[in-house]
Amino acid sequence: MSPERYQKINQVLAKRQPDLTLLLEEVHKPHNVSAVIRSADAVGVCDVHAVWEQNKALRKGTAMGSQVWVKTHAHSSLSEAINVLHQQNMQVLVTHLDDTAVDFRDIDYTQPTAILLGQEKTGATDEAVALADKSVVVPMVGMVQSLNVSVAAAVILYEAQRQREAAGMYHIQKVSEQHIQETLFQGGFPIIYKECKRRNLPFPRINEQGCIEADEQWWQALQFS
């Protein structure tokens, strides 16, 4: 790995926000999922959660495509996913137009937050609205009632980014050293990383020069076929 790539990855990881995430409820269109994850990466989100009960192919393809920079965690049910987020003390906000919905800009995103986005055509389900802590809405003054799901995600995420930047939250490293080391290895040495996963070998340390530090026994185990 080049010194430039090593520095870039470290700079990115230093600004990651593990207590800011998204939950996708049956968002099926691959281009929407990819756009959502791209926006998540852009504002420092490192984990995205999803409920994909009906589309195993999309689940696999999306997870593989984003696994280096934004981890995708698939759940079998919405209640399971929200329970996981609540166990992390996150407020769960659902994008939904109802009588209790508040302007998305009135939310304090410096708190641990998960943003729940519903399916493209029908939006969030009644179960999602019931299980979420609060409904939020992006105000609309045109003829349409809502934004595309990936656009809505980007709009809300950048409000969260604005608040967190103002609070100095991007200047405090929040991810663990273990997470940093694994991401450096996966992002800097993807072929060797896949071999280690396939052979169940321990991940080596990546030093300050962006090089693998491992003993001869580890290298021999890697080369053995």
**DSSP letters spanning 132-159:** SSEEEE----SS-S---HHHHHHHHHHH
Same domain, yes or no: 21 and 84: yes
Residue among 174, 141, 168 nearest 47 (CA): 174
Same domain, 183 and 167: no
Whether 26 and 137 share a structural domain: yes
Domain that holds residue 155: 17-171
Q: Binning pLDDT at 50, 70 and 90, where does residue 167 land?
A: very high
Q: Please check whether residue 38 lies inside any domain of the structure.
A: yes
95 is in an annotated binding site: yes
Residue that is last in its domain, among 127, 154, 171: 171
116 annotated among ligand-binding-site residues: no
User: Where on the phi/psi map is residue 63: left (φ > 0), alpha (ψ -120 to 50), or beta?
Assistant: alpha
CB neighbourhood size of 142 (10 A): 5
Question: 101 and 127: one domain?
Answer: yes
Output the pLDDT for position 64. 42
pLDDT confidence band for 55 (50 / 70 / 90): low
Distance CA 168, CA 172 (A): 7
pLDDT recorded at residue 140: 81
Of all residues in the chain, the percent with pLDDT exceeding 70 is: 92
**Phi and psi angles of residue 92, each rounded to the nearest 5 degrees, phi first:** -105, 115
Mean pLDDT (the chain) is 88
Q: Where does the pLDDT of residue 214 fall: very low under 50, low under 70, confident under 90, or very high at 90 and above?
A: very high
Question: How many other C-beta atoms can be found within 10 angstroms of the C-beta atom of residue 112?
Answer: 16
Do 57 and 161 lie in one domain? The reply is: yes
Residue 67's pLDDT is 65
Residue 60 has pLDDT above 70, yes or no: no
The domain tally of the chain equals 2
Q: Is 54 a residue whose pLDDT tops 70?
A: no
The pLDDT score that the predictor gives to residue 56 is 52
pLDDT band at 99 (very low <50, low <70, confident <90, very high): confident
Is residue 51 domain-resident?
yes
Whether residue 40 has pLDDT greater than 90: yes
Taking residues 79-87, what's their average pLDDT? 94
Q: Is 57 found in the same domain as 87?
A: yes
Of 156, 171, 186, which residue constitutes the final position of a domain?
Answer: 171
Rounded to whole angstroms, the Cα distance separating 204 from 184 reads 10
Residue 25 domain-assigned?
yes
What is the average pLDDT across 183-205? Answer: 91
The helix/strand/coil state of 16 is: coil
Q: Does an H or E element contain 185, and which?
A: helix 177-188
pTM of the full structure: 0.85
Residue 125, annotated as binding a ligand: no
What average pLDDT does this structure show over 142-169? Answer: 91
